[in-house]
Amino acid sequence: MTGEADIVTTLLARAAAEPQRVAVRDHRGRSVTYGELGTDLTAVAAHLTTHGLVRGDGVLLAVRPSPRAVAAALGVVLAGGVVVVADPGAGQALLDVRRRTAPVRAAVADTVVHAATRRPFSTVLARLPATSGLQLPDLSAPGLVHVVTGPRLPGVPRSATRWEHLPRSSTPPGVGDPARDALVVFTSGSTAAPRAVVHTLASLSAGVHAAVSALGLDAGAVVHTDQLMIGLPGLVAGAVWSLPPVTASPAAWLRQAGRESATHAYAVPAKVLAAATHGLPPSLRHVAMGGAPVLPATVRRLARLAPGVDVRAVYGLTEALPVAVATGDEVLASPVARTSLGRPLPGVSVRIDAPGSEGVGEIVVRAPQARQRLAGERPDDEVRTGDLGELLPDGTLLLAGRAKNMIIRGQTNIYPELVEPLLLERLSEHVRDCALVGVPHPVTGDERVVLAVVPVRGVTERLAREASRLVHRAWPALADEAWRPDDVVVVESVPRRGRSGALDLEALRALVTDGRVGTAP
> Does residue 241 register a pLDDT over 90?
yes
Mean pLDDT, the chain, integer:
87
Q: Which CATH class is domain 414-512?
A: alpha beta
Q: Which residue has the higher pLDDT, 415 or 209?
A: 209
Confirm or reject CATH 1.10.760.10 for domain 243-402, answering yes or no.
Answer: no
Q: Which residues contact 173 (CB under 8 A, 6 or more apart)?
A: 45, 46, 49, 78, 79, 80
Segments making up each domain of the chain, as ranges:
7-202, 243-402, 414-512
Q: Tell me the pTM.
A: 0.83
pLDDT tens figures, 102-130: 889 999 999 988 888 776 665 555 554 44
| Strands of 58-62's sheet in order across | 161-162, 145-149, 104-110, 58-62, 82-85, 181-187, 195-200, 373-374
Within this chain, domains 7-202 and 243-402 share the same CATH topology: yes
Quote the pLDDT of residue 133: 47
Quote the pLDDT of residue 312: 98
pLDDT tens figures, 428-485: 888 989 999 998 866 556 688 999 999 888 777 777 788 889 999 999 888 878 889 9
Phi, psi of 13, rounded to the nearest 5 degrees: -65, -40
d(Cα 174, Cα 161) in Å, to the nearest integer?
24
Strand partners, 33: 22
pLDDT tens figures, 31-46: 999 999 999 999 999 9
Asked if the peptide bond before residue 322 counts as cis, ω within 30 degrees of 0, the response is yes
Confirm or reject CATH 3.40.50.980 for domain 7-202, answering yes or no.
Answer: yes
Strand partners, 389: 361, 399
Task: Tell me if 175 sits within 8 A of 9, measured CB to CB.
Answer: yes
